[in-house]
Amino acid sequence: MADLEELVYSREVIEFTAVANEYCRICSEGAGSEGVKFLAVQQKLLPLLYYKTLLIRDFDPLLTDPVETFVAEEEWTAVEQSILKMLGEANDYIDVPGPEETPVGGVVSGSIAENMADIFQDLKDFLVAYNIGTSEIMNDALWQCLENFRLSWGRKVVVTIRAIHDAMKNPGLIGTKNRTADGDQEDIDTSDWIITKRMREMRENEDDGL
């Protein structure tokens, strides 16, 4: 038990938990924020989250049953839609496919908001279990979070950092629409843009593959 508590209350785990909690707080409270400010914070926070995750030593799960998850679809959707609204047209990006993805012409479409909502889900599931559970549950919640990092959300952190970097090159476009001469906003018709057609084709192919 002493070794178990030494792990779950170690400096590395406490610091990781603090960063994860800050990430989830910012994502949950993002509604109403300016997209540029939101991305500027995440541009610093996501690399720190990745780094703090790597500092935790390897260990094994203890329980037979999986740890309970807590983030419902409605909460995931609320976070994703809030971020999407802040980013506007800066949300979508083109990415090189991962090893388990099926490429369409060598690239895949991506969404910063979806990535960040997925990361939020894994981290909040861990945080809730860590805060209310026994040492064994805390251990296994952490193990599952780190396993998901290895398999899924770790790569999403990396590609999202790159996507945010590219979006921040043109901060005036983040969360905004085309402005008319009198200062009003109007929707941009991007239906004929090459990148729009390309991303639409990729999404259709992804849907056909389901």
How does strand 185-186 pair with strand 178-179?
antiparallel
Asked whether the beta carbons of 154 and 53 are under 8 A apart, the reply is: yes
The CA-atom distances, in angstroms, between 10 and each of 23, 135, 142, 154 are 20, 12, 12, 21
Please tell me the pTM assigned to this model.
0.80
Q: Cβ–Cβ contacts within 10 Å for residue 190, how many?
A: 14
Q: Under 8 Å CB-to-CB from 85, ≥6 apart: which residues?
A: 31, 175
What structural domains and CATH numbers belong to the chain?
2-97+111-179 (1.20.120.1550)
Query: How does pLDDT run along the chain (210 residues), one tens digit per residue?
Result: 668 889 999 999 999 999 999 999 999 987 667 899 999 999 999 999 999 999 999 999 999 999 999 999 999 999 999 999 999 999 999 887 766 666 555 677 899 999 999 999 999 999 999 999 899 999 999 999 999 999 999 999 999 999 999 999 999 889 865 333 344 444 434 444 444 455 566 556 656 655
